[in-house]
Amino acid sequence: MAKVDGHGAHKQARRTRINARLPVDVNGVRGVTRDISTTGMFIVQSGQHEMGSHVDFWLDMDTPEGKVKLCCEGEVMRVEEIDGKVGIGVRILSQERQIFA
């Protein structure tokens, strides 16, 4: 969500981020999250991505309810090189949760 300051300039609203290293699959390529928020996450992997492109990704998590697979569609908002890999900031557009007992 963009905010406008008193001078008419847009600022990106910052969401609280949680540092978390979780395995994630992005368009079929394995990676790892660096941080997660309620609206997105930063992922490091070996795939190639462009700003504005859409990606499908999923992660498996252990929760008190059992194993959960979170399937998401997102938009790449940022791309940067990190130690020979690609880091992408992804905004979550849609998500579906699957619970396995």
Query: What confidence tens digit (pLDDT) does each residue in 2-48 have?
Result: 334 444 444 455 568 899 999 999 999 999 999 999 999 999 999 88
Q: Is the pLDDT confidence value at 52 over 60?
A: yes
Q: Is the dihedral of CA 42, 61, 30, 71 positive or negative?
A: negative
CATH number of 16-100: 3.30.1700.10, 2.40.10.220, 3.20.130.10, 3.40.50.2000?
2.40.10.220
Beta-carbon count within 10 A of 17 CB: 15
pLDDT of residue 61: 87
Helix, strand, or coil (residue 67): strand
Question: What mean pLDDT is predicted for residues 67-92?
Answer: 95
Distance CA 17, CA 20 (A): 9
pLDDT of residue 49: 93
**Whole-structure pTM value:** 0.79
Helix, strand, or coil (residue 75): strand
Question: What mean pLDDT is predicted for residues 90-94?
Answer: 97
Residues forming a β-bridge with 38: none
Percent of the chain with pLDDT over 90: 68
pLDDT of residue 1: 37
Which phi-psi region, left, alpha or beta, contains residue 5 (left: φ > 0; alpha: ψ -120 to 50)?
beta
Give ∠ CA 15-42-100 in degrees, rounded to 5: 95
Residue positions counted in the chain: 101
pLDDT of residue 13: 52
pLDDT of residue 40: 95
